[in-house]
Chains A and B, each alone.
Chain A
Amino acid sequence: MNETTGGIDSQEETSGTVKKFMFVNRRAPYGTVYALEALEVVLISAAFDQDISMVFLDDGVYELVKGQHTKAIDVKNFSPAYRALEGYDIEKLYVDADSLAARGLTTDNLLVPVEVLSAAQMAELMAAQDVVIGF
């Protein structure tokens, strides 16, 4: 019994099926819980050997901004977890170019390496997915 995966022994019960999972992040961090709890799903999903992509659109791009200091709001700073994703073999992080530009941001402002996609490229990526989970 595997506590973190909720009783699923991933090798036995789901072996063989590999689906393309896309986790869509469209909300800023801290104002709501969605960014944090989305990350928790993504980290767990690493145990299942699926083809995982995380995309950041609209205010979701703010989740990746460097220099988050949460002491004054007394909320846990979970942004270091984005850097931990690579260690879980979750390397496909995509950001919408228009969302970045509209917010006056570039990849220099972000705390992890990402691939920046145009709307057309993002649309193509989305269309190729098996499971899309938005938060």
Chain B
Amino acid sequence: MKLGILVNEGPYTHQASDTAFQFATAALAKGHQIYRVFFYHDGVNNATRLTEPPQDDRHIVNRWSKLAEQHGIDLVVCVAAALRRGIKDEILAKGFRISGLGQLVETGIQADRLVVFGD
């Protein structure tokens, strides 16, 4: 199946991004396709390359970048939410792109399922 994922919260403060990542990984292992991961509200903070978490803990941003690279997953950050929160092209981590809310709606239309991870 084609699965869409919506991540509504930023890294570390909420478990949403972690759970979404584990879900995506498990879905790929089962042979499903991740149609798109869309980041909204504070979820846009998952896209900054400036994070420096402690070495002995997971690197949430890099984990998403790596997954996207390995499996060709489209990681999209909402432009309006990003601008509000200071997430811009010049600080985007690898694999993320900034685009409009239409990409979220389109995910709902094209994917077989859309799962929302938030607070």
Q: Which residues of A line the B interface, CB within 8 A? A: 2-8, 10, 13-14, 17, 19, 21, 33-34, 37, 40-41, 44-45, 47-48, 50, 130-135
Residue of B nearest to A49 (CB): B109
Number of A-B contacts (CB under 8 A): 81
Determine which of B76, B80, B109, B114 lies in contact with A48 in the assembled complex, contact meaning CB atoms within 8 Å. Answer: B109
Residue of B nearest to A17 (CB): B109
Chain A residues in 8 Å Cβ range of B8: 135
- Smallest CB–CB gap between B49 and chain A, Å? 22
Q: B interface, how many residues as a size bin?
A: 20 to 34
Overall SS of chain B's interface = helix
Query: Contacts A19-B109, A44-B105: A134 and B118 contacting too (C-beta < 8 A)?
Result: yes
B101 close to chain A: CB less than 8 A: yes
Q: Which residues of B line the A interface, CB within 8 A? A: 6, 8, 40-41, 76, 79-81, 99-106, 108-110, 114, 116, 118
Determine which of B76, B101, B109, B114 lies in contact with A44 in the assembled complex, contact meaning CB atoms within 8 Å. Answer: B101
Chain B residues in 8 Å Cβ range of A7: 99-100, 102-103
